[in-house]
Amino acid sequence: MNTIPYYIVDVFGEKRYAGNQLAVFRHASNLPQELLQTIAKEINFAETTFIGSDEQVDGGYNVRIFTPDTEVPFAGHPTLGTAYIIRQEIEQKRKQGLGLAADSGGTITLNLGVGQIPVTVADQQELWMKQKPPQFGRTVDPAVIAGILGINAAELDPDFPVQEVSTGLASIIVPLRSLEAVNACRLNHAAFEAFLATAFRANILVFCKETVQADNNLHVRVFCEDSGFPEDAATGSANGNLAGYLLKYDYLGASELRYRVEQGYKIGRPSLIHVKASLKDSSYDINVGGQVHPVARGEWIID
């Protein structure tokens, strides 16, 4: 019987059983893509990641990310959660085997579909990833998005556009006037699929300045095209997209930002996402961070 090790972590939560769930598998380089997709479907989390091997390639670790339905080139919480496992289960244990002391920081690079993404370890459980510069796509008619979200178009902030933004995985950024409007959103999947069929593949991120917790700065919900996961608990990639949007349109009135985002409250997985971002001479620097908490480990039977 052949097995490979796997781990479950919660990402962007302030404790276990909050934030976004992730399964991470090691020693996956020789497994066929069909099997990787089947395993991701069996796990049935929003994403599952597979580390090719414990050895680096071109200065980074080869990692593939799968939803239950498809492979994706980038996603935020899988990047941070996988980097945590690489650090704890590969790099630190390798040092222990050599009789070396474990370190408390450092950088881990993941080779993803979008290219190399560096992840900085701030302490034992907080990690930060540097995202690709944002690409700004088409704007969307607010009335169309309001119909998809099941709210009145008057709930959208008229001073800012509804626009597609991507730092590797696209989001449609939707500014709303209030927390009440954010909570009222109910995704109409039929309308969303009809829209995507004639436009572009993206999730929808709605946000406002009003928050549940007073020490947070923005409240966010992210709706996905996958009907099995209509809402995401914590979305690093989409919050990186949002950071680019906030800078481009001077939404927070500054070119250097550091703020806290709350997400996942409506689905019982409260999450906290930290963002550091700046815009200088048309150059974007976007970093998204949060905590990672280990939940489980085991062996997966592959034949």
Catalytic residues: 47
Instruction: Report whether 164 contacts 136 (CB < 8 A).
Output: yes
- Distance between CA atoms of residues 142 and 147, nearest Å: 9
- Distance between CA atoms of residues 194 and 240, nearest Å: 26
Query: Phi and psi at residue 237, in whole multiples of 5°?
Result: -60, -45
10 Å Cβ neighbour count for 298? 11
Measure the CA dihedral 67/135/203/128, to 10°: 60
Q: Which of 103, 109, 196 is nearest to 148 (CA)?
A: 196
Q: Which of 61, 101, 67 is nearest to 84 (CA)?
A: 61
- Distance between CA atoms of residues 207 and 220, nearest Å: 4
Q: Which of 229, 232, 223, 224 is nearest to 273 (CA)?
A: 232
